[in-house]
Chain A
Amino acid sequence: MVSLSDYLILSSIIFCIGLAGIFINRTNIITLLMCVELILAAVNTNFIAFSHFLGNEAGQIFVFFILTVAAAEVAIGLAILTLLFRVRGSINVDVTNSLKG
């Protein structure tokens, strides 16, 4: 049988991969957004594992709302990205340091 700690360790590994991806990919905002998605998937796996092992459906409801908020976040993030590309001509993270008010 698969224990709860297996699921938790798996989700912590995925979380750390997403975190390392944010560190590594400093040149591309799209990959940063995808790393955030990866972190959210890890958190959702955590919620569902606890929901299964504790026999409580509230964790799954929480995952439902996380998915909703993440979809909204991606829509707005990609809209900002498109706007940034239109203004700056690039989506490098280094270009966005020129925000001076």
Chain B
Amino acid sequence: MSSEQIIFYILSFWFVASSLAMIFARNAAKAVLFLVLGFFSAAGIWILLEAEFLAITLILVYVGAVMVLFLFVIKMLNIDKSTLRAKFAGYLPLGLIVALIIIAEMTLVLGSSQFGLEIMPSPERHGADYSNITQLALQLYTTYVYPFELAAVLLLIAIIAAITLVQKDEIKRKKQSISEQVNVKARDRVRIVSITSPSKEDK
């Protein structure tokens, strides 16, 4: 057994174990922490597959931003723990049966007779001078530049949508009222006051 296999099986074990712990966790905050462990294991597996940039992105963006956002929402919503326990086991047999059937079918389809090392040999490892992020950037900024910009627009839309959804009071929002601006009269805004300036001869 090579060291690559040992690392793969250790990371896979923790990925599967933390995923199982996540879906069976009673407490939502604990579920988030188990998912963080699962994402770390997934990042290790991705590094094993020479996708270093995406592995770092998974940890920085997912664990650092998205999971923390989950934790924030869980802590702010103050969810009653007793309601989480209700009807927990009702769908458990159905879910387990469906999952086991899919795993069995996938194992048959994806077994080593279809995707084994004989059919799909493991590629040569790149040397130390190979840069994954350079290769990704070359593709991303040439071939996939329009999808890249669309992704940026999508993130902007997501920001605007999230802020608009949770905006509470509309009074504080700065907005224009076009009809009021058009119908304004000059005498409402400007008041002409006649002032007699004291002349020097009065002194």
Instruction: For residue A10, give the distance in angstroms from its CB to the closest CB of chain B.
Output: 5
Q: Which residue of A lies closest to B154 (CB)?
A: A72
With A16-B99, A27-B88 in contact, is A38–B38 under 8 Å at CB?
yes
- Of B27-35, B185-193, B194-202, the segment with at least 4 beta carbons within 8 Å of chain A is B27-35
The number of A-B residue pairs with CB atoms under 8 Å apart is 237
Instruction: For residue B50, give the distance in angstroms from its CB to the closest CB of chain A.
Output: 6
Count residues on chain A whose CB falls below 8 Å from chain B CBs.
71
Measured CA separation A9–B49 after assembly (Å): 15
Verify A41–B22 contact, CB threshold 8 A.
no
Chain A residues within 8 Å of B151, by CB: 65, 68-69
Q: Which residue of A lies closest to B66 (CB)?
A: A74
Measured CA separation A64–B107 after assembly (Å): 27
Interface set, chain A 30-74, CB cutoff 8 A to B: 30-31, 33-35, 37-38, 41, 44-45, 48-49, 51-53, 55, 57-58, 60-61, 63-65, 67-74
Verify B83–A90 contact, CB threshold 8 A.
yes
Chain A residues within 8 Å of B172, by CB: none
Q: Which residue of B lies closest to A56 (CB)?
A: B139
With A9-B106, A12-B106, A75-B69 in contact, is A57–B135 under 8 Å at CB?
yes
| Chain A residues with a Cβ under 8 A of chain B | 1-10, 12-28, 30-31, 33-35, 37-38, 41, 44-45, 48-49, 51-53, 55, 57-58, 60-61, 63-65, 67-76, 78-83, 85, 90-92, 94
15 more CB-based (< 8 A) A-B contacts, given A1-B5, A3-B116, A27-B87: A1-B4, A2-B5, A3-B117, A3-B122, A12-B103, A13-B103, A28-B79, A30-B70, A35-B23, A45-B46, A49-B49, A61-B139, A67-B54, A71-B155, A94-B87
Which 3 pairs show the lowest CB-CB distances between chains A and B? A23-B95, A21-B23, A72-B158
